[in-house]
Amino acid sequence: MIFKEINVPLYHNINNQKRIIIISMTKVRELTDTIIKGIQEKKGQKISIVDLRGIEGAICSYFVICQGNSPMQVEAITDSIEEFARVEQGEKPTHVVGRENAQWVAMDFTDVMVHIFVPDARSYYNLENLWQDAPLEEIPDLD
């Protein structure tokens, strides 16, 4: 996957002064690529990337959505993503929820949200279609 670098100005009001902070989207895309490697390492399937950068009020820049065939595989994918992000990017999620039953695990990397489902939960929640205006990229499964 090849991504170009984009700088996005963010405006913060600090002590009643407006300051502009430039964040390189390259780092976010590198994290996204690393997350995909972690998913593929444990044979995660049907990987989709939802680009939310153009959606006003979106909680992050990207959703990465995938599935495992069982709760055990969902747990293994979650662990793999954590390991790849830590080793390759020096990142760890700020929150991870859903590990208890592993039907749907959500991992918050601030700019990237990762959703790992079992197939039934994925089709029920259908996150890919929540934002129909957002570009959707599907990553081919590794066989």
- Nearest to 67, CA basis, from 28, 109, 107, 105: 105
Contacts of 82 (CB under 8 A, 6+ apart): 38, 92, 93, 96, 107
* Higher-confidence position of 131 and 78: 78
- The reported pLDDT for the residue numbered 10 is 45
pLDDT tens digits, residue range 106-125? Answer: 999 999 999 999 999 999 99
- The reported pLDDT for the residue numbered 21 is 38
- The reported pLDDT for the residue numbered 25 is 65
Q: How far apart are CA 81 and CA 63, in angstroms?
A: 14
Contacts of 63 (CB under 8 A, 6+ apart): 48, 49, 50, 52, 112, 113, 114, 115, 127
Dig out the tokens for 143 from the structure.
């066989």
Q: How far apart are CA 42 and CA 27, in angstroms?
A: 23
Instruction: Tell whether pTM > 0.85.
Output: no
Q: What are the residue ranges of helices labelled H in 52-103?
A: 71-84
